[in-house]
Chains A and B, each alone.
Chain A
Amino acid sequence: MSTPLSFHDEPRGYVPPTPPTSAGGNAARALLFVGAVAAFGGLAFAGVSTADFIEHLDRQVHSIHCSFIPGAGAEIADNGCKTVMMSTWSSVLRTSLWGGIPIALLAVATFAFLVMKQLQLALASETNRHHTSFLVLAWLLPALMSVIFGSIAFSQLGAVCKLCVGIYASSAVGLVLAIVAHVQAHKAQTPVPLGTWGLWFGEGVVYVGVMVLFYVLFAPQAPKSAEGCGTLVKREDPAQVFIRVTSTGTPAIAVLDPLCPACKGFDERIRNSGLDQQLAIDAVLFPLDETCNWMVKGASVHPGACAVSEAMLCALQDSPDSSLKILDWAFAHQERLRADAKQSDAGVRAELERTFPKVKGCLGSAQIKNKVNKSLKWAVSNALPVLTPQLFVGDKRVCDEDTDLGLEYTVHQMLGSSPRPLSPGRGR
C-alpha cells in the first residue's frame, strides 16, 4: 500500500542515494547537521514563545520570557515580547478562537519540520543538490516570515522581542547554511524530483495541520466571555463627560486612564483589530491618581492622570477630536509623564499648557475639576471595579481577562448577540 509520506515508498522521480564519494559531500552533510542545530534553535525560541501564549489561555496575567537564551528572562513587567504577544499581529483567526492561533505555533511546526528534514537528509547515504535545493526553499519560508514580522515589530509596534530576534537569527543562519550546503553538495544527474519535493512539502503541511488541529481542539473555552461580567445600570451622561471616539456601529463605552499602560495597549488593539469600525465608542475617564480619585488609596497608580484628564475635558469643550489628540499624546509619552508627575504635578500641567495652549485658563479651574469628578462619579453610579481599561459593548461589560488576547473573539461574540444600530460616523 502506498502512503503519502516519503519514508514509506519512494515516489516516482525519487533519486536513490548513492554512497558519498567526495569531501564536498561530507562537508554538505556536516552543514546539514549544523543546519539542524539552527532549526532546533528556532524551535526552542518559538517553543518558549508558544508556551507563554498558551500560559495566557487561562485568562490570567503571567510573566513572559524575553531573552536571547530560550526559557530565561521571565518577567511580569512590560517588555518587547509582551508588547508583541499582546498585539493583534501575534496570532491569526482571532475572532474565531479566544486569542486566535499563535504565529509562534506555526513557527514551532515549521522548525520542527526543518529539524526533522535536516536530520533525515544528513543521515541519508548521499546528499545531492536536489536535497539541498528543497532545504533552501524550505528555509526561505521562516526567513521571509522573519523579514515580514521583523519589520512589523519595528515599524508598527516599536518593540524588540528578543525571542522573535532569536527566531529571525535562527532563520537567517539556517538559510545561509542551507545555501552553503547546496554549494558544497554533489550535482544531481537526474531531473528535479518534483514528486519527492511535493511529498516533503506535504510532510510540512501535516506538521502545521496536526499542531493547529490539536491546538484548536484543546483550547480552553470560557462561556463567560460572551455573557460578559456585569451590566451598566446608569448609562446616561447628564454631566456630558463622555468623549466620542468613534461613531459607527454598536454603542460601546471604554473606561480609560490616559496614563495607564494597559489602556494604551487596549487602544492599539481596538484600532489594529478594526473594532473601532464596528463599535461606536464613548470614552469615560477614570484616572487612577489620588489627586482627584478618592478610590485610589495610598500612592497614585498613575500620577499625573488627573491633570491629563482635566486637559482632555477642557479640550472636549472645543471638540472630541481635540480631546483625543491629547489622549494620543498622553499615550505616546506615558512613561515620562508619570515620572514627571511623581516629581511635580505642576510640571505636567505646565507641559500640557505648552503643548496644548487652548487648555490654558481651563486646566486646574474649579469647573473642570468638577467635570473630572463627574466622570469618576459616573463609575460610582455604575459600581464599576476600580481598574482600567474596561469596555462595555451595549450594556454588557467585557470581562477584564478578555480585554487583551481575547478582545476580538469576545467582542465578536457579544456583537453576535447585540442589536447593531448603525449611524453615519467617522473613525478616529
Chain B
Amino acid sequence: MKTANLILFLTLLSAPTVAVVAGERRAATRMAELGAAAADVPIASAADEGYCTPQLKAIVRRVATSCGLVEGGRGCKPADARSVATMGGADFNALFTPLSNRAHLVQFDAEQTDLDDFGRKEIEKVWAEKGGASFFFVVARASPDGDAALNTQLSQQRAQSVMGHLQQKFPGDEDLSKVGLLWLGEDFAQLDTGFCDWNRSRKENGAACTAKDINRSAFVAWIDCAI
C-alpha cells in the first residue's frame, strides 16, 4: 500500500509539474525566435498619396522653398509663377486634378479681395480636413478683365485674405507655417468652367459660374505629399 501511495503521490506531483515546465520552455523558445524577427507594425507618418507625382512634388518643393516654408518662417515671394511651375498652364492645372475631392475654390466678387461668409466657412472646412498633409496651398487667381498688373495685385490680395482669415481663426496654430501662397494673376493657368463642378464656396447658393467667376478665386487644398 505504501508503494502504491508513493506512486500516486509522485505521479500526481510530477505530471503537472513536467507539463508546466515543458510549456514554459516552449514559450521561451518561441520568444527567442520571435524576438529575432522584426515587428511588422506601420509607423505613424505624414501622408504621401498616389497622386503625388514627381512633377507635383517638384512644384510643391519649389513653392515651399520660394515661400520660405522649408527653411522655416514666412515670406512668400513667388514673383514669377511660370518659373515656379516650369510648365504650361494646362499642365500645371492637370497636376491638381486628382485633388478634386480634397481641394476647394474660394470665390470672390469682381475686383474684390474680401472674403464673404461662404468663403470663410469654406476655408475653415478645408483647414479641418488636413489629415496627414504636409503643406497647405493657396493658389489665387483673377479673371482677365482689366489691367494685368491690377489682376496680379488682386490675386495676391486674395491669397493674403485667405491667409489672414486662417491666422485670425486659428491663432498660434503651428500648421500656419505650412501654408504656401501662390498668386497667378490673369496670365497663367487660368481655370476652365470644368472647375465649377469642384467644391467651391458659392456652389450651394446657386450663383452663376462662368469662366470669369471661377478665376476670381483662391484654390485651397492640403497637399498629401511628403517632399
- On A, residues with C-beta under 8 Å from B are 5-8, 43, 47, 50-51, 54-60, 105, 108-109, 112-113, 115-116, 119-120, 123-125, 203, 206-207, 210-211, 214-215, 218-220, 222, 224, 238-239, 292, 294-295, 365-367, 369-370, 373, 376, 379-380, 382-387, 400
Contacts of A6 in B (CB 8 A): 5
Known: A54-B24, A58-B28, A203-B9. 15 other contacts (CB 8 A): A7-B5, A51-B19, A58-B31, A60-B31, A120-B4, A120-B5, A207-B13, A214-B20, A215-B24, A219-B24, A294-B132, A365-B128, A370-B173, A385-B43, A400-B41
Contacts of A207 in B (CB 8 A): 12-13
Interface assignment of B127: CB less than 8 Å from any CB of chain A: yes
21 contacts between A and B (CB under 8 A): A5-B9, A7-B5, A50-B20, A51-B23, A54-B23, A54-B27, A109-B16, A112-B16, A116-B9, A124-B1, A125-B1, A214-B20, A215-B20, A220-B31, A239-B174, A294-B132, A365-B128, A367-B170, A370-B127, A383-B43, A385-B39
The total of chain B residues at the interface (CB under 8 A) is 47
Q: Are A60 and B42 in contact (CB under 8 A)?
A: no
Residue of B nearest to A368 (CB): B128
Q: Are A376 and B24 in contact (CB under 8 A)?
A: no
Q: Are B45 and A54 in contact (CB under 8 A)?
A: no
CB distance from B55 to the nearest CB of A (A): 22
Q: Are B41 and A385 in contact (CB under 8 A)?
A: yes
Q: Are A380 and B17 in contact (CB under 8 A)?
A: no
Contact of B44 among A120, A203, A386 (CB under 8 A): A386
Cα-based distance from A105 to B19 in the complex (angstroms): 11
Interface assignment of B73: CB less than 8 Å from any CB of chain A: no
Q: Are A373 and B130 in contact (CB under 8 A)?
A: yes
Q: Are B31 and A116 in contact (CB under 8 A)?
A: no
Q: Are A105 and B42 in contact (CB under 8 A)?
A: no
Residue of A nearest to B127 (CB): A366
Q: Are A380 and B45 in contact (CB under 8 A)?
A: yes
- How many contacts between A and B, using CB within 8 angstroms? 145
Contacts of A366 in B (CB 8 A): 124-125, 127-128, 169
Q: Are B44 and A383 in contact (CB under 8 A)?
A: yes
Q: Are B130 and A379 in contact (CB under 8 A)?
A: no
Contact of A8 among B2, B34, B45, B174 (CB under 8 A): B2
Which B1-36 residues sit within 8 Å CB-CB of chain A? 1-2, 4-6, 8-9, 11-13, 15-17, 19-21, 23-25, 27-28, 30-31, 34-35
- With A60-B34, A123-B4, A219-B24 known to touch, is A238 a contact of B174 (CB < 8 Å)? yes
Q: Are A369 and B35 in contact (CB under 8 A)?
A: no
Q: Are B21 and A210 in contact (CB under 8 A)?
A: no
- With A43-B16, A51-B23 known to touch, is A58 a contact of B6 (CB < 8 Å)? no
CB distance from A368 to the nearest CB of B (A): 8
Q: Are B41 and A116 in contact (CB under 8 A)?
A: no
Cα-based distance from A222 to B32 in the complex (angstroms): 9
Contacts of A105 in B (CB 8 A): 20
Residue of B nearest to A380 (CB): B44
Q: Are B42 and A385 in contact (CB under 8 A)?
A: yes
- With A295-B132, A370-B128 known to touch, is A376 a contact of B8 (CB < 8 Å)? no
Contacts of A238 in B (CB 8 A): 174
